[in-house]
Structure 1
Amino acid sequence: MVSERGLEVLRAIVQDYVDTREPVGSKTIVDRHAFGVSAATIRNDMALLEDEELIVAPHTSSGRIPTDKGYRVFVDHLAEVRPLTPAQRTAISSFLEGPVDLDDALSRTVRALTQLTGQVAIVQYPSFERANVSHVELVQLGSGRMLVIVVTDTGRVSQRVSNVQDEFDETDLGRMRAELSTLLVGRSVRDGLHRIETHLALHDDPTKPWDAATRVLARAVAEDLEEFRQDRLVLAGSANLAKRESDFRGSIYPLLEAIEQQVTLVRLMGEMVADEHGLAASIGRENEAFGLAEASVVTSDYDATGAGARVGLLGPTRMDYPTNLAAVRAVARYLTRMLEEDDTSR
């Protein structure tokens, strides 16, 4: 059982090691922090922390550094997440102001986060599988091209250009729009995709131009709905891993591979358990099953008008957890608020 002063000593070791990347000794703690006790007393506290496997000596007669378990205890005992400065909040607001659409909003989000923190920034696309399709629109663009627009009740809009190789009058255009709307509007993305696939299987007669065009448009809609169901990530700041390569004992290749393939990060972020504030951290060896035992991930939940997802940061275990947690929380709240405002303005 770690005492209150022991936790304070651990906090000092974590903070100083993150700041300096140098092992922390008892004299350094006495000089830098107002504990009001002797270096000998601090050494006794450090010995108890070492017994609990919360700190370790990387070299003989050196100071101590936190272990993965030590970082976990530090994060779990944070009195509060450090608030961002007004300048940082202004930077987030400026970065995220006025996005064109959801894709643009998420792209801006990761760029803002990586600039704020120097870590790899990750944002999950909301899962719209349970969203309902609210509108289908067809717009002729000329030269046999048709713009297919699908809108969900959560505000997700997709636009895809299909080559139907013909021009249609308003009667035929209205008929195609009505057929697709009958299949989709008011139904979930999952149900709509199933109905589209069934429709394609039952209407496979290439001899009728209208049916052929409808099949082309139905396939375009099916591709959009399939994308709505997929778990996707937007990332930025991968180059920061190379800048901090010395913080990793082994190769950074597993992290680069996870970033490239995304599946590992999707699974990891999906399994992280958030606290009552929507914050979560997965540290070092806790990520061993995902091949990321030398990395930490911190996340915060955000809401896209009913479809939840996460904003996160990936980096070495030696990271500034209070600031990074504050950053993902602030960005997630701003993103949630922005998406809610965008939804109410529709």
Structure 2
Amino acid sequence: MGRTPTLWPNPMDRDSDQEVYRVSTTDDRRFEILRAIVTDYVESQEPIGSKALVERHQLGVSSATVRNDMAVLEAEGYITQPHTSSGRVPTDKGYRMFVDRISEIKPLSSAERRAILSVLDSGVDLDDVLRRSVKLLAQLTRQVAVIQYPVLSAARVRHLEVVSLSPSRLLLVVIVDNGRVEQRMVALNEDHDEEDITRLRDMFSAALHGKRLAEASAAVAELANSAPDDIRGAVLNIATVLVETLVERGDDRLVLGGTSNLARSAADFTPVVGGMDTVLEALEEQVVVLKILATTQDMGQVTVQIGEETQTENLRGTSVVSTGYGASGTVFGGVGVLGPTRMDYPGTIASVAAVAKYIGEVLAER
């Protein structure tokens, strides 16, 4: 349903002399009129008439030419007349043309980037970093921000610590390279001294270090099969807990921020597109949003899905701007914003790219 969403390079990495495709003079002029309509409508939320376009923009043509061009744009489905007034508003097709032909995405300033990094770097743990991320992204874009928890199956074990709490009770601390930390208690069937605990720590650390989670689970199972007799029971106890820990969790997969921003755009969610209630329902069904993020997780590429391109009935009145975040070529998860199709696309694309970049950097350093 819909056309292929746009993929934008990270605006902080864009080549300033990137070639911009140009068509005929008449088509260029009509695109400038469409661009002006989109820009003014995003700002004012009021239908845009030809007189206002001539007054606000240096189009270099007469009002009659603007009216004629608007008639062509309407006939081709790029703009529409919402009611009997003379004003026009962009359609999803019009927004798509606008996004496809944005020639420059202004990167955030150095001060803005430092501020983002400072906010995220102050997070005390993974949960705090993700909460800060969605709050910050919602503030920057004035939309609903969403971020997926790091996908464990894509992560590698960075460190395993085995702490003796008593001769028959251990604490396992698993740290993976996406910043996630899992702690589990293990009750042993019999007492073990510090020498045994050291052997267990060394054995499991060597088997797990640097492995992806699926590989790590297999390595743990192999240890259980080949453990020395004197610590076999302890190995089995630890292996059972670790396998459960390393299996992908199905809860706490998505963090949302700025849901109240939808109220500012309530008028955009008309009954024709299902109303704002349908959007809230989709957000509550997190699997819907996770599915969208899962298809747009290329680091360094920002994806723009407009209206029906989301392929989700409840979200056909929205646009989703998203990308992947991670480090060292590994994608940890998806991050993006959701809002009405009447959206500041250039600013939103830049903000999503910047926040994603710094989430990856912060988590990689932990």
Aligned length: 335
Who is 2:7 aligned against? none
288-297 vs 161-170, greater mean Cα deviation: 161-170
Once the two structures are TM-superposed, the CA of residue 331 in structure 1 deviates from its matched residue by: 1.4
Give the whole-Å Cα distance in 2 for the aligned partners of 1:169 and 1:251.
64
Who is 1:116 aligned against? 140
**Which amino acid counterpart does residue 73 of structure 1 have in structure 2?**
M
Question: Which residue of 322, 332, 347 corresponds with 1:299?
Answer: 322
Counterpart check, 1:66 vs 2:90? yes
Who is 2:183 aligned against? 160
Counterpart check, 1:238 vs 2:259? yes
Once the two structures are TM-superposed, the CA of residue 229 in structure 1 deviates from its matched residue by: 9.4
210-219 vs 310-319, greater mean Cα deviation: 210-219
Counterpart check, 1:247 vs 2:268? yes
CA contact (8 A) 1:129 1:229 kept: no
Counterpart check, 1:221 vs 2:242? yes
Who is 2:359 aligned against? 335
Q: 1:179 to 1:290 in 2, by over 3 A?
A: farther
Once the two structures are TM-superposed, the CA of residue 195 in structure 1 deviates from its matched residue by: 4.4
CA contact (8 A) 1:160 1:220 kept: no
CA contact (8 A) 1:268 1:290 kept: no
Who is 2:15 aligned against? none
Higher relative contact order (CA 8 A, sep 6+): 2
What is the CA deviation profile of residues 239-271 of structure 1, one whole-angstrom value per residue up to 9, with x for unaligned ones?
Answer: 222342221112323332332332111211222
CA contact (8 A) 2:293 2:335 kept: no
Give the whole-Å Cα distance in 2 for the aligned partners of 1:19 and 1:198.
61
Equivalence map 1:37-186=2 (5 Å): 37-85=61-109, 88-141=112-165, 145-152=169-176, 154=177, 156-164=179-187, 168-181=192-205, 183-186=207-210
**Which amino acid counterpart does residue 233 of structure 1 have in structure 2?**
L
**Which amino acid counterpart does residue 158 of structure 1 have in structure 2?**
V
Q: Unaligned regions of 5+ residues in structure 2, if any? A: 1-22
CA contact (8 A) 2:186 2:241 kept: no
Who is 1:317 aligned against? 341
CA contact (8 A) 2:150 2:178 kept: no
**Partner-residue secondary structure (3-state), 1:30:** helix
Counterpart check, 1:279 vs 2:299? no
CA contact (8 A) 1:133 1:151 kept: yes
Once the two structures are TM-superposed, the CA of residue 171 in structure 1 deviates from its matched residue by: 2.2
Q: TM-score, normalised by structure 1?
A: 0.84
CA contact (8 A) 1:117 1:324 kept: yes
CA contact (8 A) 2:297 2:323 kept: no
Give the whole-Å Cα distance in 1 for the aligned partners of 2:290 and 2:158.
28
Once the two structures are TM-superposed, the CA of residue 215 in structure 1 deviates from its matched residue by: 4.1
CA contact (8 A) 1:138 1:173 kept: yes
Q: 1:61 to 1:258 in 2, by over 3 A?
A: closer
Once the two structures are TM-superposed, the CA of residue 132 in structure 1 deviates from its matched residue by: 3.6
CA contact (8 A) 1:272 1:281 kept: no
**Partner-residue secondary structure (3-state), 1:147:** strand
Q: Percent identity?
A: 43
**Partner-residue secondary structure (3-state), 1:148:** strand
Once the two structures are TM-superposed, the CA of residue 327 in structure 1 deviates from its matched residue by: 0.6
**Partner-residue secondary structure (3-state), 1:48:** helix
Once the two structures are TM-superposed, the CA of residue 134 in structure 1 deviates from its matched residue by: 4.3
Who is 2:287 aligned against? 263
Once the two structures are TM-superposed, the CA of residue 64 in structure 1 deviates from its matched residue by: 0.4
Give the whole-Å Cα distance in 1 for the aligned partners of 2:116 and 2:209.
36
Who is 1:22 aligned against? 46
283-292 vs 59-68, greater mean Cα deviation: 283-292
64-73 vs 226-235, greater mean Cα deviation: 226-235
Q: Unaligned regions of 5+ residues in structure 1, if any? A: none
Q: TM-score, normalised by structure 2?
A: 0.80
CA contact (8 A) 1:155 1:305 kept: no
